[in-house]
Amino acid sequence: MAQGFILPVCGLFCLVILSVLYSRRRRRLRLPPGPKKRPIIGNMLDMPSHCQWEVYAGWSREYNIIHLGIPITGTSIIVLSSVQAAQDLLDKRSPIYSDRPRFTMFHDLLAGDRFFGLGKYGDTWRAHRRLFHQAFNGPAGRRFHPHVLKYAHDLLRRLLEEPVAFADHFDHVIAANIISITYGVNIESSNDPCMTATSSGMDAVRSALIPGRFLVDAIPILRYLPAWTPGAGFKRQAAQWKQKVQEMIDLPFDTAKHIFNGGKAYPSFVMDNLRELDEYGQKHAQEEDIKHAAASIYGAGTDTSRFALRVFIRGILENPEAQAKAQQEIDAVVAPGHLPDFADEADLPWVSACLKETLRWWPITPLGLPRIVRGEDVYRGYRIPDGSIVFANAWAMLHNETMYPNPGAFKPERFLREGKLNPAVMDPNIAAFGFGRRICAGKDIAWDILWIMVASILATFDITKAIGENGEVLEPHTGHAEELVDFSFPLPFKCCIKPRSQAAKELIRSTAKF
């Protein structure tokens, strides 16, 4: 009896000892390389304040995986600058690399976990992700093509009537398109209540996520201060923003539900799931899950898509020859009197190459959204501390000079070989849409929206640099505009967008009949 008791205890003791020794060995491993750290402040003075992705990309020529540390706050930042490193960690070790850092202002005071793209990795996230996947993954998203075509044609009519306001048109049409796909609600005006609510809610989300803006993010205990306390203005602001976010979540959903209960059900994320609830009860999805996942669709899809269209226009100004070749291809494939359709995509590789180069040349989320490591890890002999903030530097990956020679130039032809898409060149979607379980769940429908809009614009308009009052060519700005820490897009610029012909004008106007 005693021997039978002693052996398991000894075995357990040995396991504990081995675990302790292994843990100590891991702690003795080096951190990934990076700029030299100073006493106490570490790399605090090295942190770039502008175009971080470019600074990190420069460092990555020396260090493929970068560590930045601020000992005074206990913060470790890991920057991955190669596709291989991102896939090794974010894809293959996704269980510990799929969580997000928490921001007290957003997650606690605005209940930000309701947005699954920014929320905690767990059961609620899995439920929302499953709804996304069922609705938009691969062939499933094709049922939304009528929505997408409708708003692509709306964009053409708006560009025809007021080409100078092209950026505003991109903003409106992308938002209206996503509301239509998500809720089945038809948006005609920018003053539509659903449009107003979602726009105001997203403004609140963006404001709450600005890094360093709120002291409560650095000192979370401040969230317990009463709102009337001097210095607690952030709580009053949070209450106002939370109301706007709640309206963003509730109003479009309630509108869709009212339409659905009235006997009309248009193909859309919300109405399709409401129909399942009617048929199967709560077996497939809770109504609250549907509501919050729907709000996440709008939040995830609007900014990236509207900014990508601006990048496309900006790229065409850099390479007019690419526009000419894409238009030549469209004229040869699409029958006269018709606009491009999704059925034409396989026969329009130049159009696809233009979009691929748009996503590569100027990635809208150049560092992706940050992850937080939930557990000590080791990679290539380096120690990744538990709690590290991890960024996948998509800009560095998509500007890799070995994979993409002359990466600063807008050259769609880099994706083509003998008139077809070249499979030997890495698809920029691999880095542009993220990695692992946090990869953009709507990447397929996002590609469809952008592809048909790019094809439709190229088919009907010529895009050239604007001409000033004195006849001089107005060169577009070259700098980045930055929104939050995660977004990059072109500074406002002018261009000339004109119909290619009278026939193109008539074709655009004819779309209003449908």
Query: Which residues make up each annotated binding site?
Result: 440
- Residues in the annotated binding site for heme: 440
Go through 337-372 and write b for each residue having 16 or more CB atoms within 10 A of its CB, e for each that does not: eebbeeebbeebbbbbbbbbbbbbbbbbbbbbbbbb
Residue 99 forms beta bridges with which residues? 372
Query: Measured in whole angstroms, how far is the alpha carbon of residue 1 from the centre of its chain?
Result: 62
3-state SS class at 311: helix
For 433, the token pair is: 């849409």
Nearest Cα to 304, choosing from 408, 178, 492, 200?
A: 178
Q: How far apart are CA 507 and CA 89, in angstroms?
A: 50
Q: What is the largest CA-CA distance in the chain?
A: 101
**Contacts of range 171-178, beta carbons closer than 8 Å, 24 or more positions apart:** 171/306, 173/453, 174/301, 174/302, 174/305, 174/306, 174/309, 174/449, 175/199, 175/298, 175/302, 175/306, 176/151, 177/147, 177/148, 177/151, 177/449, 178/297, 178/298, 178/301, 178/302, 178/305
Residue ranges of alpha helices (H) inside 414-500 are 429-432, 443-460
* CB atoms closer than 10 angstroms to residue 233: 11
In contact, 150 and 330? CB cutoff 8 Å: no
Q: Say which residue the tokens 């004195």 belong to.
A: 470
Q: Say which residue the tokens 């963003």 belong to.
A: 248
3-state SS class at 60: helix
In contact, 77 and 67? CB cutoff 8 Å: yes
Q: Say which residue the tokens 């048909």 belong to.
A: 452
Helix, strand, coil percentages for the chain (3-state, nearest 5): 55, 10, 30
3-state SS class at 382: strand
3-state SS class at 109: coil
